[in-house]
Structure 1
Amino acid sequence: MLRVHDKYVGLPSSPRASLGMQHPLPPLGHAMGKGSGAETRALLRAVSVLPVMMVAAIVGIEYYVFVTEHWLPAFQRAVGLFVLLRLVEIVCFHCFVGCMLVAYYKVVVTGYVTPTVVQRVNDAMQEALEEGGGKEAPVLMGCRRCKQLKPFRAHHCNHHCPWVANCVGEGNYKFFFQFVVYAFLALAMIVVALVGPFQTALFNDDAPRGTADFSALMVVGFVLGGALDVSLLGFIVVHSYLLMHGTTTIECHEYGRSFPFSQGWRKNVSLVFGESTTDWLLPTSLKREKRYVLHPVELEHLTADRFLDESSDQEDDNLL
């Protein structure tokens, strides 16, 4: 039997309970309401592309600075074993940049997932109850704003990231994390390579302006790359913690350090990145089997009396 609450509707759960994020965002038309016009939706979609273009511009600037301002002059001056060192450097840099671009592309283009499968509701509910030992029927949140049904453990419209013009969810969380990691590594190489010229340009009064020893673009690349690298390091630390504990940002606020859905750090990571080492390292696509049956631990946390009330739900919405 399906249970309907003010903001919860009984439906099958989304696959896997230990992911650090949930399903991507429904189309903008849903989130804007029925009365919104096509022109407004088109405008919002156009505006959402601007951060992506900004990311592309930053990548282009940093790449140009590293290759033309650092690597080419260093390679031309290299002799002996230093030639091999420069070749290894440029190969590693392009590996990081290549993986970053592939991961970013997959984060952006991953489509939204509709969590409702009406024709399987009754069977899924019955199976879920049997797994849970005959407990109350589980329920699923329904978004009051976009009128869409949300999968288990999903937040309102999920976690929308303007820098990827998409939501970070189960389908692209792996690519989001890999994009952040590889962007951090590539920027770290740039910062390390430019720290010497930057110090010379900033502290050496005898450094000639406009020569090969000094470049304003090099300083811009160093400052911008350093600031972004520090920010990305913070993202890596936070999401590594969430990933290894099988929790989300909202659940971390709600449950603290209890981690009710954790299945061990290795299993938590495997559920997101895959089983093989190759899948962990490379932005490869995974074949995910959809699951419409709730685990007992999910049933325990899915009864209506355990859900947050209206005030706390509004508080969670404000977190994002």
Structure 2
Amino acid sequence: MDYEEYEYQAFRHEVDLHNRCCAGRLWCIRDICGIICVILTWFLIMYAEFVVMCVMLLPSPYPIYSIVNMIIFNMGSFLAIASHIRTMCTDPGAVPKGNATKDMIQQMGFKKGQVIFKCQKCCSIKPERAHHCSVCQRCIRKMDHHCPWVNNCVGENNQKYFVLFTFYIATISIHALFLSVNQFIMCIKHEWKECTTYSPPATVVLLLFLVFEALLFAIFTAVMLGTQLQAIWNDETGIEQLKKEEARWVKKSRWKSIQSVFGRFSLGWFSPFTRPSPKTKLESYLYSV
């Protein structure tokens, strides 16, 4: 091993732990803004859980209505949080940092005289459709955008989890709106003591804040979900759409583009605990020349 290769291996060991925690097992972005947004997201989900369970469903005089809605809402909340954690803790497709050495270029199969693109910020060979993220401080393959709410970039490896996160948040938000409106109607028709264990003013305040939260997140996540599905359908990332970049890559068919994100059609599409088939080594490294 020559001196240049020795330096690269030492540098590679150091950067392999960059943006990672738990001895390098988990992807973790150390961004204060992102961490605050993550905590706020979890707090708002827990608040919705508290109001739905303790204010509306548990005091309800209709047991079947309560049980059915408890199962649906809790399942949606669990899947939303699981999708959020998977999006946050999954490497979005970071390009190896500092890999633009002569030996590595040869190992990757590039031929002499072949044009390659190098990122000046992270000193790495920049694959096609990759963009540098100033927050993650890495080039991300098929980077769509950096989302502070998940404290991570949305890219090639975690787009499925982000889509599921927006889908389940939109679902439980709409469900919370339905339950809140129904609760107001029940409390108006019956005495307040029969529909909740809290005082009427406290109940109104809790429900109004939940309605505001649910309406805001339902609109925001539904728009984001539609944007993501449109990008996948057209085989374009959010950055490519924003910059109106001309497609220099071979576009996949719409079905192939969907499969590249979600895998073959199955119930696993809706599970944050399954992932599409991993890319081959050739697909992972030789995106651009």
- 1:260 and 1:192 map into 2 onto residues whose CA distance is 45
**Residue 88, structure 1, aligned to residue 68, structure 2:** yes
Per-residue deviation, 1:124: 4.0
Per-residue deviation, 1:256: 6.7
Q: 1:248 aligned to 226, 237, 251, which one?
A: 237
Q: Is the 8 A contact 1:180 1:236 kept in 2?
A: yes
| RMSD, aligned α-carbons | 3.7
| Contiguous gaps of at least 5 residues in structure 2 | 1-16, 21-29, 134-139
Q: Is the 8 A contact 2:169 2:217 kept in 1?
A: no
State the AA in 1 paired with 2:152: N
Q: 2:105 aligned to 101, 118, 121, which one?
A: 121
**Change over 3 Å in CA distance of 1:293–1:221 after alignment to 2:** closer
**Residue 290, structure 1, aligned to residue 270, structure 2:** no
State the AA in 1 paired with 2:50: Y
Aligned to 2:136: none
- 2:284 and 2:262 map into 1 onto residues whose CA distance is 21
**Change over 3 Å in CA distance of 1:111–1:260 after alignment to 2:** closer
**Change over 3 Å in CA distance of 1:140–1:275 after alignment to 2:** farther
- 1:283 and 1:28 map into 2 onto residues whose CA distance is 22
Aligned to 1:173: 159
State how 1:214-253 maps to structure 2 within 5 Å. Answer: 214-253=203-242
Per-residue deviation, 1:149: 4.2
SS of equivalent residue, structure 2 residue 84:
helix
- 2:221 and 2:272 map into 1 onto residues whose CA distance is 18
SS of equivalent residue, structure 1 residue 73:
coil
TM-score (norm 2): 0.70
State how 1:103-252 maps to structure 2 within 5 Å. Answer: 103-111=83-91, 113-115=94-96, 121-122=105-106, 124-125=108-109, 137-142=114-119, 144-157=120-133, 158=140, 159-197=145-183, 210-211=199-200, 214-252=203-241
Kindly provide the CA deviation profile for residues 185-204 of structure 1, in whole angstroms up to 9, marking residues without a partner as x: 01110011112445799x99
Q: Is the 8 A contact 1:198 1:219 kept in 2?
A: no
| Contiguous gaps of at least 5 residues in structure 1 | 1-25, 30-43, 130-135, 303-320
TM-score (norm 1): 0.64
- 2:77 and 2:248 map into 1 onto residues whose CA distance is 34
Kindly provide the CA deviation profile for residues 121-153 of structure 1, in whole angstroms up to 9, marking residues without a partner as x: 335445xx8xxxxxx8352341x3444443321
Aligned to 1:18: none
- 1:219 and 1:264 map into 2 onto residues whose CA distance is 45
**Residue 99, structure 1, aligned to residue 79, structure 2:** yes
Aligned to 1:32: none
**Change over 3 Å in CA distance of 1:87–1:294 after alignment to 2:** closer
- 1:104 and 1:280 map into 2 onto residues whose CA distance is 15
**Change over 3 Å in CA distance of 1:275–1:216 after alignment to 2:** same
Give identity over the alignment, percent.
18
Q: 151-160 vs 233-242, which deviates more?
A: 151-160
